[in-house]
Chains A and B, each alone.
Chain A
Amino acid sequence: DAGITQSPRHKVTETGTPVTLRCHQTENHRYMYWYRQDPGHGLRLIHYSYGVKDTDKGEVSDGYSVSRSKTEDFLLTLESATSSQTSVYFCAISDLGAQRQETQYFGPGTRLLVL
Chain B
Amino acid sequence: GQQLNQSPQSMFIQEGEDVSMNCTSSSIFNTWLWYKQDPGEGPVLLIALYKAGELTSNGRLTAQFGITRKDSFLNISASIPSDVGIYFCAGTDAGNNRKLIWGLGTSLAVNP
Q: Give A residues with C-beta under 8 Å from B.
A: 31, 40-45, 48, 50, 58-59, 90, 92, 99, 101-109
Provide the bound-state CA to CA distance between A106 and B37, in Å.
Answer: 10
Could you list 20 further interchain pairs (A-B, Cβ under 8 angstroms) beyond the known A102-B100, A103-B45, A105-B45?
A42-B102, A43-B43, A43-B88, A43-B90, A45-B99, A48-B99, A50-B98, A90-B42, A101-B30, A101-B48, A101-B50, A101-B92, A101-B97, A102-B92, A102-B97, A104-B33, A104-B100, A106-B42, A109-B40, A109-B41
Closest 9 CB pairs of A and B: A106-B42, A59-B1, A99-B50, A42-B104, A101-B31, A43-B102, A106-B43, A42-B102, A102-B92
Q: A42-B104, A50-B98 are in contact. Are A103 and B42 (CB under 8 A)?
A: no
Task: Tell me whether A102 and B98 are in contact (CB under 8 A).
Answer: yes
Which listed residue (B88, B99, B104) contacts A58, Cβ 8 A? B99
Which residues 83-112 of B have a CB within 8 angstroms of A?
88, 90, 92, 97-100, 102-105
Residue ID in chain B nearest A58 by CB atoms: B99
Q: Is B78 an interface residue (CB 8 A)?
A: no
Q: How many contacts between A and B, using CB within 8 angstroms?
A: 59
Please classify the interface of chain B as helix (H, G, I), strand (E, B), loop, or mixed, using the class held by over half of its residues. strand
Provide the bound-state CA to CA distance between A99 and B43, in Å.
Answer: 21
Q: Is B44 an interface residue (CB 8 A)?
A: yes
Provide the bound-state CA to CA distance between A41 and B105, in Å.
Answer: 10
With a cutoff of 8 Å between Cβ atoms, the chain A residues found around residue B100 in the complex are 43, 45, 102, 104
Task: Tell me whether A42 and B103 are in contact (CB under 8 A).
Answer: yes
Q: Is B26 an interface residue (CB 8 A)?
A: no
One digit per residue, 1 when the CB lies within 8 angstroms of any chain A CB and 0 when it does not, for chain B 8-51 equals: 00000000000000000000001101010000111111001010
Task: Tell me whether A107 and B1 are in contact (CB under 8 A).
Answer: no
Provide the bound-state CA to CA distance between A109 and B39, in Å.
Answer: 11
A59 to chain B, nearest CB (A): 4
With a cutoff of 8 Å between Cβ atoms, the chain B residues found around residue A102 in the complex are 31, 92, 97-100
With a cutoff of 8 Å between Cβ atoms, the chain B residues found around residue A106 in the complex are 35, 42-44
